[in-house]
Amino acid sequence: MNSTTKGLKILGMVLLAGLTMSNVKSDHGKYFEISKNIEIFTNLYKEINTYYVDDLDPAKLMRTGVDAMLESLDPYTNYISESEIEGFRYITDGKYNGIGAIIRQIDDYATIIEPYDNCPAQKAGLKAGDKILAIDGKETKGKSTDEISNFLKGFPGTEIQLKIERPGKSVPMDITLVRDEVIVPNVPYSGIVEDGIGYIALTTFTRNAGKNVADALKKLKTENPNLKGIIFDLRDNGGGLLQEAVNVSNVFIPKNELVVTTKGKVVDWDRSFKTLNKPVDENIPMVVLIDKGSASASEIVSGVLQDLDRAVLIGQRSYGKGLVQTTRDVGYNSKVKLTTSKYYVPSGRCIQGVSYSDGTPINIPDSLRTKFKTRSGRVVLDGGGVKPDIEVNKAMNAAILNSLQRQFMIFDYTTNYTIGKETLASPQDFKFTEFDQFVKYLKEQDYEYESDSEKMLDRLKMQLEEESYADGLGADIQDMENKIAQKKANELLEHKDAIVNLIEKDIVSRFHYQKGRIEMGLRNDIEIKEAVAILNDKAKYDAILK
């Protein structure tokens, strides 16, 4: 028996021993099947590594098998290798060791999208739009974003040499950075949006999220004694730590209030989480903003505040992730993050509504969702996410806006716009007035996009041809194509305000970073305007909650 086979057999015995000691709601007869299949897998792995015609990387082969196994479960159960621990640390703690910048793949190269303020990338002079050509002398062309991120991470105090191509510069530049611990704030901005109305943005439920939200609210109350309402922004907040969802809820609801209950296969892990502390303010009128990017812990908080009639929810239906993940050590500084339970908010509902086939939300009609009631008797529904009390349809969901961002048209235009500019007006004062120049830029780039209607029409044409119906309907198809083309020709103007909003936020972020982007966005935000209107109308606010 070789060392690989022996090791896998020992692993199997340890696994089975661990299973038999757990208080699990399952059939103990499965243990023979587990043992049998571990032995089959061990033998298969040994045979392939020994006799396959080409040399194999055993670790890579095993990782492929592990990923395929976990992929058959749900999108949130993942293996985290030793090399990926820094990324996991960022998800849980909001910090990691590296250079402090968001990067994306544009064409063949990783490109700096946004350096974080006061972090190594910004201190070294890196700017949004910088294309990374080489790292420590090694070319990066064709490397994935994940590969580049791993190269950039490292111990604080260590140096890294980047060769970058900067728009507006004729020759590449060499930049030396010193890695450091990068801390990304989970409350990047709080302030006053209108007289007496405060605003707090929470971007992720990493450690100390509850404390930071509490501190932001305390500061607003101290600096504004006549504070009459709070807007709490959970849009595009993908969640994080379950305990922090409880802590954040506790900022606004009383001590000893039930927040969430979790139930899964392991009986000993079923738990109910209640608030433990005195709230900062349990009475101040409150609006919570949510959208399709609000998930998991965001849905716990928004669901709790809705169930307890503590806040008015405004926006779009949330993502629909009612699952809880737990991390388990699996040896050699690696972990598995696996779904262990579902969570239920105080009304008893679970908002889980995600299709496991592709990890994207599915639309569950209200007629198929079970009804529950809030504390005051309002009807709320389970499954398919948290439905806001006031739904706001945003132009930001338009296909052309998604296309402009997906093809980096706004990002590239902003990069060219800011060449040679060293300063910019404050977010409150800056206005972008060159929309015609942006349209001209798109024409110069031969920008085109295919709408969802065009994609559907193309599929229809193919189907008609297969069924020999195309000849008789050719004129009708051509008429639809002409109408779609005419509609598309006007789309830029139809969505001018939304496009200008995106451009303004991108330009401001080049000089004032994440905080400036948020401040800029507040000025044009229709949901903020709706929230302010509700908080200024006590009768309407009370009527919604009662």
Q: How far apart are CA 449 and CA 407, in angstroms?
A: 9
| Catalytic one of 190, 294, 296, 298 | 296
Q: C-alpha distances in angstroms, 496 versus 155, 429, 527?
A: 45, 19, 18
Taking only Cα atoms into account, the Rg of the chain, rounded to an integer number of angstroms, comes to 26
Residue from 281, 326, 329 nearest 305 by CA: 281
Q: How far apart are CA 114 and CA 414, in angstroms?
A: 12
Q: How far apart are CA 115 and CA 513, in angstroms?
A: 7
Indicate the pairing of strand 229-233 with strand 197-201.
Answer: parallel
Phi, psi of 423 (to 5 degrees): -135, 165
Residues 246 and 271 sit within 8 Å (Cβ to Cβ):
no
Residue from 449, 448, 307, 299 nearest 385 by CA: 299
Is residue 321 annotated as a catalytic residue, yes or no? yes
| Catalytic one of 180, 291, 307, 382 | 307
Kindly state the greatest CA–CA separation across the chain: 78
| Catalytic one of 143, 163, 292, 321 | 321
Indicate if the alpha-carbon torsion angle 28, 33, 38, 39 is positive or negative.
Answer: positive
Is residue 72 annotated as a catalytic residue, yes or no? no
Whole-angstrom distance between the N-terminal and C-terminal Cα of the chain?
A: 71
Residues sharing a CB contact under 8 Å with residue 160, sequence separation 6 or more, in sequence order = 99, 135, 136, 151, 152, 154, 176, 177, 178, 179
Output 425-434 pairs: Cβ under 8 A, ≥24 positions apart.
426/512, 427/508, 427/512, 427/516, 427/519, 427/520, 427/523, 428/519, 428/523, 430/504, 430/507, 430/508, 430/520, 431/504, 432/500, 432/503, 432/504, 432/507
Residue from 360, 354, 362 nearest 321 by CA: 354
Residues 237 and 203 sit within 8 Å (Cβ to Cβ):
yes
Output 105-114 pairs: Cβ under 8 A, ≥24 positions apart.
105/144, 105/145, 106/131, 106/408, 108/141, 108/142, 109/133, 109/140, 109/141, 109/165, 110/140, 110/143, 110/145, 110/148, 112/164, 113/411, 114/509, 114/513, 114/514
Residues sharing a CB contact under 8 Å with residue 235, sequence separation 6 or more, in sequence order = 289, 290, 291, 293, 294, 315, 527
Is residue 525 annotated as a catalytic residue, yes or no? no
Catalytic residues: 296, 307, 321
